[in-house]
Amino acid sequence: MAAYLFRRLLMTVPVWFAILTLVFLMRPLVPGDPVKVMLFGRVTSPEVVANMRHQLGLDDSLWVQYLHYVRGVLHGDLGTSVTTRQPVLDEIKDRYPATLKLAFGSLVVSTLVGLIAGILAAVYKNSLIDTASMLFAMAGLSMPAFWFGLLMIYFFAVKLSWFSVIPDESLKSLILPAVTLGLITSSAVARLVRSAMLEVLGQDFIRTARAKGLRERSVLIQHALRNAMIPIVTILGLQLGYQLSGAFIIEAVFAWHGIGELGVKAFAKRDFPLIQGIVLVVATTYVLVNLAVDLLYRLLDPRVKLS
């Protein structure tokens, strides 16, 4: 297990450096002068433009800029925000816990709802329950997140007054955005759980378990669901990464003070160093989540060969 973990970490290094390179290229590949783009709409003198260019290191060659950027990231320096004049890493550290809280809260919702809907749809195949579950999944896949978020605010915060429109750090304020994002992402989980369960339920060992007189709940949970967990864990890992990035829209709708809201403001103000830092942190989280999913395969199914 330790050897496999070491190899997976070594494989992660070039992937992460490829991400780092792409994030760095976000700024030089912007059409036009990046400094003028960031200062668009502001009255500035040539001296101010030249000073900002020097501060951002844009007066060096592209290769030198890249080396400085990589060295800074490896030392925990993601640059300085153009708008707030604060270190980008400090800005992200202040907001990232709120985003993680929202992402994991929505993951719990999507996992519970997706598993229940998918299992029911598989057990009662071609029934009204199956049709209703798949209609729910189709609605979740096709529904825009911002629109569904506004509906949730209108009904549960404005009409019913169950939740406050203005969020705070309490658990109650987390419920509405987490449920909104979780219900949207649970649709993909439900569809995959249904297909995985149908495949497993048709195999011989399930018929053998039923012939031995095991209770149907034991057959579904201990035998069918456990053997269907590999693709389910994969989609849940991808969903967590999506929820970290998809939380940008939900955070903007619910005014949740995470890096999603910070990213929206950074895009509006053309704060390239802050945008690069947020993208790099979210992408790094994706890589770590995929690594964790690979390690979970062995725990869920010992038949999986880690070599």
pLDDT tens digits, one per residue of 231-264: 788 788 877 777 776 577 888 888 888 888 888 8
Listed by start position, the domains of the chain span 2-74, 94-300
Q: What is the 3-state secondary structure (H, E, C) of the chain?
A: CHHHHHHHHHHHHHHHHHHHHHHHCCCCCCCCCHHHHHCCCCCCCHHHHHHHHHHCCCCCCHHHHHHHHHHHHHCCCCCECCCCCCEHHHHHHHHHHHHHHHHHHHHHHHHHHHHHHHHHHHHCCCCHHHHHHHHHHHHHHHCCHHHHHHHHHHHHHHHCCCCCCCCCCCHHHHHHHHHHHHHHHHHHHHHHHHHHHHHHHCCHHHHHHHHCCCCHHHHHHHHHHHHCHHHHHHHHHHHHHHHHHHHHHHHHHHCCCCHHHHHHHHHHCCCHHHHHHHHHHHHHHHHHHHHHHHHHHHHHCCCCCCC
Quote the pLDDT of residue 229. Answer: 78
Whole-angstrom Cα distance, residue 105 to residue 196?
24
- Domain boundaries 94-300, corresponding CATH code: 1.10.3720.10
- 303: pLDDT strictly greater than 70: no
Q: pTM for the full model?
A: 0.79
More confident residue, 293 or 92: 92
Looking up tokens 């011989």, which residue turns up?
204
Whole-angstrom Cα distance, residue 248 to residue 277?
15
pLDDT tens sequence across 138-159: 887 777 878 888 888 888 888 8
Quote the pLDDT of residue 200. Answer: 84
pLDDT tens sequence across 94-124: 888 888 888 888 889 988 988 888 888 888 8
27: Cβ contacts below 8 Å, ≥ 6 apart: 34, 272, 276
